[in-house]
Chain A
């Protein structure tokens, strides 16, 4: 079987789907144990086969596979197919997605232990895994869109998993609506691809970029736009929605209403990186549009710095991690804008591991704290939960970019790449990503110190019950901590310095910033970094956090008082929620209400439906008067009918009758 690669690819996507179907439809029959065994088995199969695919393509350097397995429909020469494109980029994504998913599946056994929706949850996360795998393995835009929407759907279902909570319903509706904005751009982008390239197949589209690159289109007369720029920006709008880039970032912090395992799986490690993956996949298009790259870079920069700042003022442990995710997604986007696609995917990979680790560790803390998520009521937990504490520390160190940790290699590559980039906006981006390093270190260690060190601020009852989480929780933590440490050093050489991605990622020679990097192996890179600005900034962030939250805890409060205006801005998240809720949403609702009242109630119901019905009814009541019941009326009607028919239909009759009248 392993010789037949299409079968392997199909099995990778179908195994989680089968698990999802069985757990979803027959959850009652197979019970809780059955549900987690079947879904874990499905995802485990996918993981093992993904590793095999990774070995097959990356280590054994087999040729890229690009083929379709099923033709959905052919319309007007356009083929819509289900197909797989498997190259090194796909292989990396497959391993990341399936491995993190497997860890989350195992972790869920412990985290959701007492939840009544146990089988439903497993069904959803397996379905998510299927959708995400479909997305990354796709060889055409249609299937990409399918996976894109499917992960969006499951994300919606999971944010609102506890559907009796008002806040969860609000959050999932918000995520859904904001993603609609992005998806609208995305689907327009796909439509534009179809319009100008006449195909939705990646290979066909990428092969004919030269033909389209010179074309322009005019939406506003007198303003010709490059077709490729329009396509790229539209596609990127989709990525902004899915990967929560400014200004479509507002849904991600709220999505923390969902259970923690999905925050780790969907809202940190995999789904939110779909946008990054998509842009990397579309590199042959983006490379040809300087404008689009610039837009990508600026948006990424804003997200990377300003979302990180928000992490400083959050007290909810999950929200801190969520803002950190936003900021790191910003870093990836900046890398895309700098044409450092490989660095972006590299960061995506390392981030998937350490951010999933941080989320799951936060979840472990939340279990121990009896679902208390406010850090102001934590502290000193390192004594009670050794494994969670250590793995969290590993995750945080990776996140802030400590040399030799995985996050260091990916983040430093990005910063270096931006420094060498000539994309408009690069100099601004460089400053912002450097500042971001300090901010990242500050909020990360603020969280770390608040949770694991200092005085124990929880109540007596909680403190008595504090203990380390069960093995199903700690095992994934350890399993994720290992790649969080080593994977950067392991992959930095092939991915950044080498030609790991091969033809999967296309970079114009003029844009090839990664070629300018100094270092050439992992040790050299780490040692070289020790004296550089990013390292010093990160160290500064950690020390600041240490001083503010361990030595002199009055400082934060003092800052908040003295800098009340910026503090409030951060607390209110730059008022974006207010803007969307009170301006856009209110405007939309108002418009809907007006159209409903005027269009539906008055015009359609009032005039067209009831109006016509009423007039027919009036007509009916009037017409029945003719049916008087008198025999002579009836006979008269018949004669009248006869005469009318005669006059109208017998040719010449009326003329002759007139003549007769004249004669008499």
Chain B
């Protein structure tokens, strides 16, 4: 039937990904330990296929499928492209790390691909059910990935924490969804949005909103639902941390937009106040506690929390510019986090984890080039012009100032000044301290190349930030 064919065509990238992931799963079963490299190549090809299908089937207009549960729009396509791209980078960074450690190689890639599928579904969600479906597919993949190191106590512990807390959060999200469904009688986000105004002052509706927000906040790792973030980031193998810390943030952003903007925009004045509280708490806790960390993964975890607070500022502005700035922030953060966690992997040698801040001491003597790359990344994270991170912060602050919340913008600036301390501390360690370990780094060529491109992009795109910014502005047309 042509109709069902059109609908399938809209979901073609997901279908291709599902098919190729299953292929990777089966091939991985049969390849020998020596030729595991095939799994990696197939996984990359799967992402490439997704990338190509996304571009090939992009229609440019919003259309939905499967009884209004699945939507294909410019926002979704852009986010999916970035998800595929960043996962591809993660896979490359992870390759050598996984090979030299007792971590199941094939499973990482298969679970990673399933996670991507979950993210893509989440991004394309047009109903509460699809949101939940995608979220759970992503979460379950990630629980399993954290637990991949079965023999590691910390990995198992953090997997357990992640799973239990994730289950609680899922429960809350579902509970909230059920209330919204109860009030509006619909699971479709578009329908909910039309009916939500009728129930604006309804106590049950507000209950539902708060519970849904808790679900979103947990996914992002926003305060006070952030407790899992440092433990999981630290406990997981660095490759897994890299995965969790990057692309899923894009998916979480999509989830937030789908639920709060596509579904509950009518309650904007209600959720704005809650998001303000969460954003401030996240920036405060994230930046302040990061200072006390001596483990770089943990430090980056708190840094994530603070960045989440920052990007929520863009969302709470509630204007198309605000959403665009939040999306820009998310993409910039993802690019920078890829590089930062990538550097932790790059620094880790065989059987050695460069988790402690001290392992960055004197990096400039060991490898001036990568010290420079790390310097770019840290400056960008701290928001120093002309690096990309500065413009991300700038756009978000601009949108907050535009809705006359100048005090909030000022507060955010104060917190990013506090945050600058621990980013610059890394720079200080790299350039002004002497190395404890004078070995030069052993890095494969592809990693070396990609890492350099990653770091330089943060600098070069910073010199011309409008390229990504235009993408973001285009997907949020002025109402």
Closest to A617 in B: B291
Interface string of B18-39 (1 = CB under 8 A from A): 0000000000000000000000
- CB pair A640–B224 under 8 Å, yes or no, is yes
Residues of chain A from 610 to 627 with CB closer than 8 A to chain B in the complex: 613, 616-617, 619-621, 623-624, 627
Q: Are A638 and B225 in contact (CB under 8 A)?
A: yes
Residues of B within 8 A of A648 (CB): 277
Contact of B289 with A623 in the complex, beta carbons under 8 Å: yes
Q: Is A583 on the interface with B (CB-CB < 8 A)?
A: no
Closest to B422 in A: A620
How long is the Cα–Cα vector from A648 to B207 in the complex, in angstroms?
11
Please state if B210 and A623 are interface contacts (CB–CB under 8 Å). Answer: no
Query: How many angstroms between the C-alpha atoms of A93 and B73 in the bound complex?
Result: 77
- Nearest chain B CB to A368's CB is how many angstroms away? 56
**Cross-chain contact of A642 among B160, B206, B211, B290 (Cβ < 8 A):** B211
Contacts between chains A and B (CB distance < 8 A), count = 83
Given the contacts A616-B291, A623-B289, A631-B160, A650 and B210 also touching, CB distance less than 8 Å: yes
Contacting residue for A645 out of B214, B231, B291, CB 8 A = B214
Asked if A624 contacts B289 (CB within 8 A), the reply is: yes
Write the nearest CB–CB distance from B234 to chain A, whole angstroms.
10
Interchain CB contact under 8 A, B273 and A649? yes
Interface centre among A638, A646, A653 (most CB of B within 10 A): A638
- The answer to whether A642 touches B210 (Cβ under 8 A) is yes
Residues in chain B near residue A617, CB distance under 8 A: 291-292
By a CB distance below 8 angstroms, the chain B residues around A649 are 206, 210, 270, 273-274
Contact A638 B169 (CB under 8 A): yes
CB distance from B9 to the nearest CB of A (A): 41
> Which residues on A sit within 8 Å (CB–CB) of B292?
617, 620-621, 623-624
Q: Which of B416-453 contact A (CB under 8 A)?
A: 418, 421
Flag if B291 contacts A638 (CB, 8 Å). no
Among A627, A641, A650, A652, contact of B225 (Cβ-Cβ < 8 Å): A641
For residue B267, give the distance in angstroms from its CB to the closest CB of chain A. Answer: 11
Interface membership of B164, Cβ < 8 A: yes
| B145-184 interface (Cβ within 8 A of A) | 160-161, 164-165, 168-169, 172
Query: Judging by beta carbons under 8 Å apart, are B203 and A645 in contact?
Result: no
Cβ of B83 within 8 Å of any chain A Cβ, yes or no, is no
List chain B residues, Cβ under 8 A from A645: 210, 213-214, 274, 277
CB distance B161 to A651 under 8 Å?
no
A634 within 8 A of B: yes
| B residues in contact with A656, CB < 8 Å | 203
B476 at the interface (CB under 8 A from A): no
Q: Which residues of A contact B160 (CB under 8 A)?
A: 631
Tell me, rounded to whole Å, the shortest Cβ–Cβ distance linking B446 to chain A: 37
Number of B residues near A (Cβ < 8 Å) is 36
- Whether B227 is near chain A, meaning CB under 8 Å from some CB there, is yes
In angstroms, how far is the closest chain A Cβ from the Cβ of B284? 9
B228 at interface (Cβ–Cβ under 8 A)? Answer: yes
Q: What distance in Å separates the Cβ of B235 from its nearest Cβ neighbour in chain A?
A: 10
Q: Do the beta carbons of B418 and A616 come within 8 Å of each other?
A: yes
A656 to B206, CA, bound (A): 14
A649 nearest in chain B by CB position? B274
The chain A residue with its CB closest to the CB of B281 is: A641
What chain A residues lie within 8 Å of B161 (beta carbons)? 631, 634
Q: Per a CB cutoff under 8 Å, which of B168, B201, B203 touches A638? A: B168
When chains A and B are docked, how far (Å) is the Cα of A119 from the Cα of B105? 69
In the assembled complex, which residues on chain A have CB atoms less than 8 Å from the CB atom of B210? 642, 645-646, 649-650
Is A633 an interface residue when CB atoms closer than 8 A count as contact? Answer: yes
Give the complex CA separation of A453 and B290 in angstroms: 84
Residues of chain A lying within 8 A (CB to CB) of residue B230: 627
- Would you give the 0/1 interface string for B267-299, flagging 1 where the beta carbon is closer than 8 Å to chain A? 000100110010000000100111111000000
Q: Which chain A residues lie closer than 8 Å to B288 at the CB level?
A: 616, 619-620, 623
Contacts of B165 in A (CB 8 A): 631, 634-635, 638
Identify B201's interface contact among A624, A640, A651, CB under 8 A: A651
Give chain A residues whose Cβ lies under 8 Å from the Cβ of B225: 637-638, 641
For A636, give the chain B residue with the smallest CB separation.
B227
B70 within 8 A of A: no
Given contacts A638-B214, A645-B213, A650-B210, contact A613 B227 (CB under 8 A): no
Is B218 among interface residues, defined by CB-CB distance under 8 A? yes
The closest CB in chain A to the CB of B226 belongs to A637
Do A641 and B224 contact each other (CB < 8 Å), given the known contacts A631-B165, A635-B168, A650-B210? Answer: yes
Within 8 Å CB of B164, what residues of A? 631, 635
Contacts of B291 in A (CB 8 A): 616-617, 620
With A634-B161, A635-B168, A650-B207 as known contacts, state yes or no: A642 contacts B285, CB within 8 Å. Answer: no
User: Which of B211, B213, B227, B289 is A634 in contact with, Cβ under 8 Å?
Assistant: B227
Contact status B214-A641, CB under 8 Å: yes
User: How far does the alpha carbon of A303 sit from the alpha carbon of B230 in the complex, in Å?
Assistant: 77
Nearest opposing residue in chain B for A628, CB measure: B227
> Using Cβ atoms and an 8 Å threshold, which residues of chain B touch A623?
285, 288-289, 292
| Least Cβ–Cβ distance between A622 and chain B, in angstroms | 9
Asked if residues B211 and A638 are in contact (CB atoms below 8 Å), the reply is: no
Quote the shortest CB–CB distance from A184 to chain B (angstroms): 35
Interface centre among A641, A648, A656 (most CB of B within 10 A): A641
Residues of A within 8 A of B218 (CB): 638
Known A-B contacts A623-B288, A624-B289, A653-B203; A637 and B418 likewise in contact (beta carbons under 8 Å): no
In the complex, A629 has a CB within 8 A of chain B: yes
Q: Which residues of chain B are near A652, meaning CB under 8 Å? A: 203
Chain B's closest residue to A633 (CB) is B227
| Cα(A620)–Cα(B306), bound, Å | 14
Q: Are A627 and B274 in contact (CB under 8 A)?
A: no
> How far is B273's CA from A619's CA once the two chains are assembled, in angstroms?
26
Q: Is the CB of B228 within 8 A of A634?
A: yes
Against B, the Cβ 8 Å flags (1 = close, 0 = not) of A27-42 are 0000000000000000
Say yes or no: A638-B207 contact (C-beta < 8 A), given A620-B288, A623-B285, A631-B164. no
26 contacting pairs across A/B (C-beta < 8 A): A616-B288, A616-B291, A616-B418, A617-B291, A617-B292, A620-B290, A623-B285, A623-B289, A624-B292, A627-B230, A627-B231, A631-B160, A631-B164, A633-B227, A634-B165, A635-B165, A637-B225, A638-B169, A645-B213, A645-B214, A649-B206, A649-B270, A650-B207, A650-B210, A653-B203, A656-B203
Closest 9 CB pairs of A and B: A641-B224, A634-B227, A620-B292, A650-B206, A620-B291, A624-B292, A623-B289, A620-B288, A621-B292
Told that A616-B291, A620-B292, A650-B210 touch, could you supply 11 new A-B pairs with CB distance under 8 A?
A617-B291, A620-B288, A624-B289, A624-B292, A627-B230, A631-B160, A631-B164, A641-B224, A646-B207, A652-B203, A656-B203
